[in-house]
Amino acid sequence: MQISNAIIVGAGIAGLSMAKALEKLDIEVLLLEKTQRFKSIGGGITLYPHGAKAIDCLGLLDQARSISHELVNYNLFSDNKLLLKDNLLQFKYQTGFSLFSFSRDQLVELFANSLKRDSVRLGVEVLEVGNEESRAWVRTSKNELLKADIVILADGINSKFFSDIVLNKVSAKKYCGYSFWGGFLTGADCIPVSDKSTMVTLGKDKLSFILTLPNKKQWWYLIAKISEESWIGADKIKLAKEVFSNWCKNTKHILSMTEDAFAFGLPCFQNKFVNKWHQGRVVGIGDSVHGMGPVAGQGANTAMLDALVLAKSLVSESNFSSALNKFSEARNDIISQLYIMEEKSAASKMHSDDDFVRERNQKLGSSKIINLLEPVMPVITAHKDVFDFFYEL
Ligand SMILES: Cc1cc2nc3c(=O)[nH]c(=O)nc-3n(C[C@H](O)[C@H](O)[C@H](O)COP(=O)(O)OP(=O)(O)OC[C@H]3O[C@@H](n4cnc5c(N)ncnc54)[C@H](O)[C@@H]3O)c2cc1C
């Protein structure tokens, strides 16, 4: 199919990777971002082998390696007790790619710097989106009406356009039932771990992640089941201190840090799973369609895969309708599996029932990381045709 140009709304990881994938196919891109600079909510991000492979397909893996930390050891604790210690490089042996830990800002910057200069406009908010006979259009805060062969919504979990246009004014957003805090530790403030491990700690209704970044830096997340109302008027650090007081030693360490160590504290939202991804020539990708909770750490990986699959469909199919149908069909099954995985992962990691926790810990204690992550393997190994297509370009 002949496609000459695309407008992308939103320059998060979904929009940036979409722009890069289309540029690789010589399609003219206009990426519109409402903020004045590239920004990304959250401190760190983990990419799984499929995310790393997507970056490789986009020609950015070597640069990505230089700003990330390859995750080698995985340590799982229950409170202060070590349940499981294993080696994550097994994934590399099985899939060819490791897991990597990034600072979000650097990952976003990597994508942004790789795009053609005139592909991106910052400080331009899209105010309206629509379809016409054989084009789609956007109206911007600069009072322009811009048209293209396709408009791709990558405007995140609060996407108004996805609800209005694709879902016919139905909002699919809901509170996950838990909230999270995150930030960075640097230099001597880092938690002393000799082997630069990933540390996941499970507790009653709460959990924490600590991961290493290059240059003596670590990023952390604390996640806890609390009500959405707890946030009303709350001071994020005070709330963290209340929720995580007297917990494991790593958390005590984080809570003892200055305010600078806390990048954010937020209630956590997800979108209900929908299998409709487009209307006419307006299509959603990333969190705008399938914002999911952060516990299984799949949103950014998924957004990049959306971008590759959509880009390939757009040039391989004979018309827009079949390209967009093909795209959503290809992604629906994987995304529905991810929703189930995310919910199971959050439910089992944050539990309040003592018997459940005892049994879970016993099982975890006799497991291997490769078995625990078995449910994610179909997601990691899907879309071989798409990866092959990009490698052959
Ligand atoms: C705490 C936390 C931890 C996470 N950890 C992981 C992890 O380890 N691994 C992982 O894979 N995923 C993780 N995720 C998920 C991941 O961050 C997202 O799924 C991913 O970044 C995709 O985001 P996006 O680009 O779709 O949306 P966003 O990042 O929200 O980007 C949307 C962009 O659109 C812009 N925009 C919105 N409206 C308009 C408009 N009208 N006009 C112009 N621009 C507009 C916004 O300003 C924004 O820049 C985590 C998420 C959170 C919150």
Q: 3-state secondary structure string, the chain?
A: CCCCEEEEECCCHHHHHHHHHHHHCCCEEEEEECCCCCCCCCCEEEECHHHHHHHHHCCCHHHHHHCCEECCEEEEEECCEEEEEEECHHHHHHHCCCCEEEEHHHHHHHHHHHCCHHHEEECCCEEEEEEECCEEEEEECCCCEEEECEEEECCCCCCHHHHHHHCCCCCCEEEEEEEEEEEEEEHHHCCCCCCCCEEEEEEECEEEEEEEECCCEEEEEEEEECCHHHHCCCCHHHHHHHHHCCCCHHHHHHHCCCHHHCCEEEEEEEECCCCCCEECCEEECCHHHHCCCCCCCCHHHHHHHHHHHHHHHHHHCCCHHHHHHHHHHHHHHHHHHHHHHHHHHHHHHCECCHHHHHHHHHHHHCCCHHHHCHHHHHHHHCCHHHHHHHHCC
pLDDT at 373: 82
Give the residue-averaged pLDDT of 335-363: 93
What single letter denotes the amino acid at residue 65? R
Nearest CA to ligand 1 atom 14: 299
- Measured in Å, residue 287 CA sits from the centre of ligand 1 at 6
User: Is 56 inside any structural domain?
Assistant: yes
pLDDT single digits (tens) 56-76:
999 999 999 999 999 999 999
Write the pLDDT tens digit of every residue in 120-134.
Answer: 999 999 999 999 989
| Distance from the alpha carbon of residue 83 to the mean position of ligand 1, in angstroms | 32
Looking at per-residue pLDDT, the higher value among 145 and 261 belongs to 145
Atom number in ligand 1 closest to CA 301? 11
- pTM confidence score: 0.95
Q: Which of 36-40, 332-336, 379-383 has the lowest mean pLDDT?
A: 36-40
Pocket test for ligand 1, best of 7, 8, 13, 175 (most atoms within 8 A of CB): 13
Which atom of ligand 1 lies nearest, measured to the CA of 51?
A: 11
pLDDT at 172 over 90: no
Mean pLDDT of the chain: 93
Residue 220 lies in a domain: no
What's residue 24's pLDDT? 97
Which numbered atom of ligand 1 lies nearest the CA of 39? 49
Q: Residue 17 falls within a domain, yes or no?
A: yes
Ligand 1 centroid distance, CA of 302 (Å) = 11
214 belongs to a structural domain = no
Total domains in the fold of the chain: 1
- Report the C-alpha gap between 160 and 168 in whole angstroms: 11
Spatial distance between the Cα atoms of 45 and 102, rounded to a whole number of angstroms? 5
Structural domain span for residue 111: 5-173+270-391
Top mutation candidate among 7, 18, 20, 33 for ligand 1, by most atoms within 8 Å of CB: 33
pLDDT in tens, 304-330: 999 999 999 999 999 999 999 999 999
Residue nearest to atom 3 of ligand 1 (CA): 294
Query: Looking at per-residue confidence, does 374 or 126 come out higher?
Result: 126
Residues with CB under 6 A from ligand 1: 9-15, 32-35, 40-42, 45-46, 125-126, 154-156, 180, 182, 286-288, 294, 297-301, 303
Could you tell me the CATH number of the domain that includes residue 70?
3.50.50.60
Which one has a higher pLDDT value, 197 or 185? 185
**What average pLDDT does the segment 150-155 reach?**
97
In a domain, 240, yes or no: no
Predicted pLDDT of residue 194: 67
Between residues 173 and 269, which one has the greater pLDDT?
A: 269
C-alpha 34/C-alpha 42 separation (Å) is 18
Q: Is 135 contained in some domain? A: yes
Does 208 reside within a domain?
no
What tens digit of pLDDT does each residue of 297-308 get? 999 999 999 999
In a domain, 297, yes or no: yes
